[in-house]
Amino acid sequence: MPLSFRQQEIMDAARDAGRVLVDELAEQFKVTPQTIRRDLNELCDRGMLARVHGGAVLASGIENVGYEARRIIAADEKTEIGRLCAAEIPNNASLFMNIGTTTEAVARALLNHRNLLVITNNLNVANTLIQNPSCEVIVAGGLLRRADGGLIGEATADFVKKFKVDYAVIGASAIDEDGALLDYDYREVRVAQAIIENARKTYLVADKTKLSRSAPVRIGHFSQITAFFTDEMTSPKLTQACTQHGVEVFSLTGQHPHRPVYSDL
């Protein structure tokens, strides 16, 4: 069946913003929230959207949503995930930070850390951490992706391989139930793979909307991850994969693993 006029408008709004909210749509179309929920459920059944708390997001595809839209999606959750991850990074540490709006939230949460060395291919991370006078920032060279301030490509990956750091903080555009980490741009993926290979511990940061999306390029697998930081673990299969591979899960809704007391490295 073809989409109704309202459903077409909902899809247009989702493509523009990356996310639609039930209450806002109900007000826009002058219908009840229950009517909008039925529309969203039908669009989700068709695989065009994925439900999240309070609304829906674009389900999957071969292209990511725009940077400004990604910043809006689960913005509050990303802020809290950033704080959760930053609490596990001690002072006097070296780390990689790659492209992603959730890694940028981690950067904001690191502003009060002392004596950090951060290597990043994300200009937004660099511009944030430059505000911390106790943080040395090294920006990787390479091709600048103007859409989001990311540096990508072989030159960037080669630069990353010159270092061996304590921690990597990485994001992913999508996470499969079998534990595969996925993204859209193969040039970005090569850098992420180099980051994982050259860090002693790898921290993955992603909100739960990434668990209902798909992307075409494989970054790696949960077996390469030390800990996963999220707002809510909604996939039993992924929980099982974390248990199988010894990945600690830190969530905003669940119990956190025992937090070790760090001495300065």
pLDDT tens, residue by residue, 158-200: 999 999 999 999 999 999 989 999 998 899 999 999 999 999 9
Mean pLDDT for 25-43 is: 95
Q: Give the pLDDT confidence of 58-85 residue by residue, as tens digits.
A: 765 545 656 666 666 778 899 999 999 9
* DSSP H helices in the chain: 5-17, 22-29, 33-45, 67-72, 75-86, 101-109, 123-129, 154-160, 186-197, 236-245
Give CA–CA dist 137/118, Å, rounded: 5
Has residue 201 got a pLDDT over 90? yes
Residue 231 amino acid letter: D
% of the chain residues with pLDDT over 90: 69
Q: What is the pLDDT of residue 195?
A: 98
Q: Which fold has domain 74-251?
A: Rossmann fold (3.40.50)
Q: Which two tokens stand for residue 81?
A: 């995930």
Please tell me the CATH code under which domain 5-59 is placed. Answer: 1.10.10.10
Q: What is the mean pLDDT of the chain?
A: 89
Tell me the whole-structure pTM to 2 decimals: 0.77
- Residue 44's contacts (CB-CB under 8 Å, 6 or more residues apart) are 50, 51, 56, 59
Q: Which residue has the higher pLDDT, 241 or 17?
A: 241
Nearest 5°: CA angle at 72, between 104 and 220?
50
Q: In the block, which residue shows the tokens 């002392």?
A: 114
Give CA–CA dist 84/262, Å, rounded: 15
Give CA–CA dist 209/79, Å, rounded: 15
Give CA–CA dist 224/214, Å, rounded: 19
Segments making up each domain of the chain, as ranges? 5-59, 74-251
